[in-house]
Structure 1
Amino acid sequence: MNMPEPDVEAIERAIALLDGRTDAELAIHPAAPGVTSFCAEAALLQFVVTWARGAKATDVAVFSKLDGSSENFEESLQKQLGLPYVVAAWVLAGKLCDGNHMTLKRREAKGYAAFLDAMDDFEFQHTHETLEPRANLVCVQGGKREFIRPFYEQYKSKWRVKPEGDIRVVIQDILSRLAPEWQGKYLREVSESLAHLVRELVENSDWWARMNHHGVEYDKGIRAVTFRLIEIDDTNLPKFSGGNTHISSYLLHNLTHNKRVKTEPPSSHTGVVRKLTFMELSIVDSGPGLARRWLASRPEEKKSVDKLSDISLDEEENAVIECFKKWRTSSGNSLRGVGLFSVASLLRKRNGFLRLRTGRLAFLFGTQSAINDIENQLRKQESLPDYVKLKDGTHVFLDDGQMIFFLRPWSHGELGAVEGTAYSILLPV
């Protein structure tokens, strides 16, 4: 089986084929050809995690462009390990082979330590070897550096997620490397929003993604937080939307209405070219997914689900939605229960976009067309509780009768089941 093309729809088609696959190999390409569209990076990583979790011990990840006998093998491997989905394949696959089907040893990835060193030393621009303005923060469960150290601190001999103020300092450092032209005031403004998003989602995965739905820690696992700064204009928008109508609609609306849009004379066609920079934040884990962890850990009527096919799609969807309701918590900590709710609320304030993928479900938040449609539907209702499910399947969360955020189905029908949870977040900056 080959890696899918780097757009969401192609990846979803590949995920749908994983359940009944008979192919014992997955060909890992050194880099996705062409532009990696928005939301596809998280999807690629989740695809690899799902393949690996469902693979037999004898199944092989084939690194098709590597030659283990080549003099530049270590250099080539290190470049590939700057891509989180390649790291996932290297860590989680049962067996590893080069393009000639010669066996590779995991210890041969010793150069990857340089990326981890760069992460620990706050040299975020050196956490990969690509030409993109990006930062990769990755941790491997079961490894010597199991936690994303810039986001963690030791407390009573245990690692815990840092307070939001400390996370904000880290985010400012990352942004200063990715966008050195930004002024200090604007760095602080953007980092404040990102720090809240990152801290809540990292802590959420720390609570739940390191263990399966039985509460047993995984022998192997991966968690990744990546930042990517991309300038969108009228000419490259189709490439970065990957032809997806949701992403395209969101990007086009921002190019038309966002106050930070810049215009410049065109080089080859009439009119002006509009430009706007977006931060893509991807947060992916290899845990049991939102529904299985909620059902296994909810305050009442706990239920362990080994396979999602053992429950109905409605039951799974209800479990995911419970995770986003305010004051819902399965952690046993009464101070928690606003994390995912506050993340979604902040996205509304920052005009952000979200793609959530977990289990057999995918949701979106943030397109103006959806916002307008939902507000029109809400006006027709006489009374509005804190939560409403509309006839089209959209889940709307309200406060004092005002919509705070929503989760709308990404597509109609059931999707292929994935392992873990993936958040793809876009923020215009």
Structure 2
Amino acid sequence: MQLSSFMTVSAAEDFLRHIYAGTVGKLQIPTRARHHAAGGEAAFVQAVSTWANEANPAELVSYAEGPVDEVQIERLVSRLHGLVGILVADTISSIRGPDLTEVLRKAALERLSLLQSATPEDGSRGPQLEIVCFDHLAKSHPRSFYAPSEQGVLQVRRLPAFNLFAAEVLKELVPTALSRGIPEGFTSALGGALHELFRNTEEHGRVNDRGDVPTKSVRGFHARRHSITPKMLPALAAEAKPFSDYFSRLRPARAGNRDIQLIELSVFDTGPGMAASLSARPLTSIDRNEELLLVRRCFGKNVSRKSISSAGLGLPTVIDLLRERNGFLRLRTGRLSLFSDLGLEEQRAFGELPELRDWADPGGRIAPIAGTLFTLLFPLGA
């Protein structure tokens, strides 16, 4: 199967349906990605990781013509979907047939070492930042998110470190001229939300819904600023009504500017999903209505999942700020694809649940997916 280079959320869902229909076979992965400015690439990362855990073996095909095709190899490794695809595949061949597994893995691991270093921006290009863990490769502790305890054990950093990280992310993404578009208090709220979401990947995202360690375990963070012309919006929406409605309200950051500046922040893992984790039961034993109730519980402040809260205070704080700034939230977990158009919600009491609505039409087919993906969107400026 040839993976679409139009990496919209809709295309990722179509890919998932093929996975569970058993019609994928070898997966041909594109070098470039287009129309991915609304969490589409993160959606494909989650889908490709799902494929790798379902396929046996997971066979990837690259557009590189051979081991000396440095341009195609560098392009593939430099993209998040390419990096993940390479490091979850069992074998990788070129479009002409020769095996490229070792060549591409070597290049991918070199870039991963930059992303997991103290300066992950060295491994990213343009206004973006990404940090990825590959637990099945013992590449689980990027320095931005982990530090040694007094006993020398690597643990998720404390909240102040994530607040500093959030400040660095926004500094990396947002030019000084547009920094006024960042809501007051957003940096610390974002740090709190990232701390909670990533900490949950450490505690709950490293096993599947049966409590087994998955063959391929991927956890990570992706942030990017997109400059979007109004003409691009229909292609980005890809006939998905939640996005069409949301995009219709977006405007350029400043008067006289042509482009809309949109910030995308995603956290993902390949764990059991929110409902299975909170209930400590496999997804197959949970009907869809109960799954939805369990997921909604996870959005409440100070909800317990084992010893640590799943939402705490950071995520509700971010949601409150994004209600004021025309934000958008998408959640993909288990058999649920949900969204909240936060800009349409009135300001509510702190910690009150956002209105989580089905992404698909009632009765629409949603294939199960490995793990959980949170994507937050908010425009800079008006």
Aligned positions of 1:195-210 closer than 5 A: 195-210=191-206
RMSD: 2.9
> How big is each residue's C-alpha offset from its partner over 1:148-204, in whole Å with a ceiling of 9 and x where there is no partner?
321211112222222222122223223333334358888785432321221111111
Q: 2:142 aligns with which of 139, 148, 170?
A: 148
* Aligned residues of 2:331 and 2:374 also touching (Cα < 8 A): yes
Shift in Å, 1:223: 1.2
Which position in structure 2 is the counterpart of 1:67?
65
Q: Provide closer, same or farther for how the CA distance between residues 60 and 290 of structure 1 changes in structure 2, counting only shifts above 3 A.
A: same
Distance 2:233 2:21 in 1: 35
1:164 maps to 2:159: yes
Which position in structure 1 is the counterpart of 2:19?
18
1:329 maps to 2:278: no
Gaps of 5+ in 1: 265-272, 297-302, 376-397
Q: Provide closer, same or farther for how the CA distance between residues 220 and 17 of structure 1 changes in structure 2, counting only shifts above 3 A.
A: closer
1:139 maps to 2:133: yes
Shift in Å, 1:285: 0.9
Shift in Å, 1:236: 3.2
Percent identity, aligned pairs only, is 23
Range that drifts further, 169-178 or 80-89:
169-178
Q: Provide closer, same or farther for how the CA distance between residues 185 and 329 of structure 1 changes in structure 2, counting only shifts above 3 A.
A: same
> How big is each residue's C-alpha offset from its partner over 1:41-67, in whole Å with a ceiling of 9 and x where there is no partner?
12111111111111112x41111x112
> How big is each residue's C-alpha offset from its partner over 1:239-282, in whole Å with a ceiling of 9 and x where there is no partner?
43334322232233242xxxx83121xxxxxxxx6654221012
Shift in Å, 1:38: 0.7
* Aligned residues of 1:348 and 1:366 also touching (Cα < 8 A): no
Aligned positions of 1:295-306 closer than 5 A: 295-296=279-280, 303=281, 305=282
* Aligned residues of 2:52 and 2:88 also touching (Cα < 8 A): yes
1:261 maps to 2:247: no
Distance 2:353 2:297 in 1: 16
Shift in Å, 1:399: 4.7
Distance 2:310 2:271 in 1: 19
* Aligned residues of 1:78 and 1:109 also touching (Cα < 8 A): no
1:40 maps to 2:40: yes
User: Residue 14 of structure 1 aligns to a residue in which SS?
Assistant: helix
Which position in structure 1 is the counterpart of 2:52?
52
Q: Provide closer, same or farther for how the CA distance between residues 92 and 120 of structure 1 changes in structure 2, counting only shifts above 3 A.
A: closer
User: Residue 293 of structure 1 aligns to a residue in which SS?
Assistant: helix
Which position in structure 1 is the counterpart of 2:368?
417
Distance 1:315 1:128 in 2: 40
Size of the aligned set, in residue pairs, is 372
Q: Provide closer, same or farther for how the CA distance between residues 245 and 329 of structure 1 changes in structure 2, counting only shifts above 3 A.
A: same
User: Residue 253 of structure 1 aligns to a residue in which SS?
Assistant: coil
* Aligned residues of 1:91 and 1:106 also touching (Cα < 8 A): no
* Aligned residues of 1:355 and 1:362 also touching (Cα < 8 A): yes
> How big is each residue's C-alpha offset from its partner over 1:393-426, in whole Å with a ceiling of 9 and x where there is no partner?
xxxxx759x9552211112224111111111110
Q: 1:249 aligns with which of 241, 245, 252?
A: 245
Which position in structure 1 is the counterpart of 2:355?
406
> How big is each residue's C-alpha offset from its partner over 1:312-371, in whole Å with a ceiling of 9 and x where there is no partner?
2223222322322333312134xx3543x64144223233211100111111112545x3
Q: 1:282 aligns with which of 252, 266, 288?
A: 266
Q: Provide closer, same or farther for how the CA distance between residues 274 and 197 of structure 1 changes in structure 2, counting only shifts above 3 A.
A: farther
TM-score (norm 2): 0.86
Which position in structure 2 is the counterpart of 1:268?
none
User: Residue 363 of structure 1 aligns to a residue in which SS?
Assistant: strand
Shift in Å, 1:6: 1.3
Shift in Å, 1:25: 0.9
Distance 1:2 1:46 in 2: 17
> How big is each residue's C-alpha offset from its partner over 1:210-255, in whole Å with a ceiling of 9 and x where there is no partner?
1223444345311121111113443333343334322232233242
Q: 1:346 aligns with which of 313, 318, 326?
A: 318
* Aligned residues of 1:262 and 1:275 also touching (Cα < 8 A): no
1:3 maps to 2:8: no
Q: Provide closer, same or farther for how the CA distance between residues 211 and 17 of structure 1 changes in structure 2, counting only shifts above 3 A.
A: same
Gaps of 5+ in 2: none
Computing the radius of gyration over CA atoms, which structure comes out larger, 1 or 2? 1
* Amino acid paired to 2:224: R
Q: 1:105 aligns with which of 95, 101, 111?
A: 101
Distance 1:239 1:126 in 2: 31
Distance 1:344 1:236 in 2: 31
Distance 2:101 2:141 in 1: 23
Distance 2:9 2:215 in 1: 29
Distance 1:233 1:6 in 2: 17
* Aligned residues of 1:37 and 1:242 also touching (Cα < 8 A): no
Distance 2:163 2:86 in 1: 31
1:365 maps to 2:314: no
Distance 1:179 1:192 in 2: 16
* Amino acid paired to 1:314: N
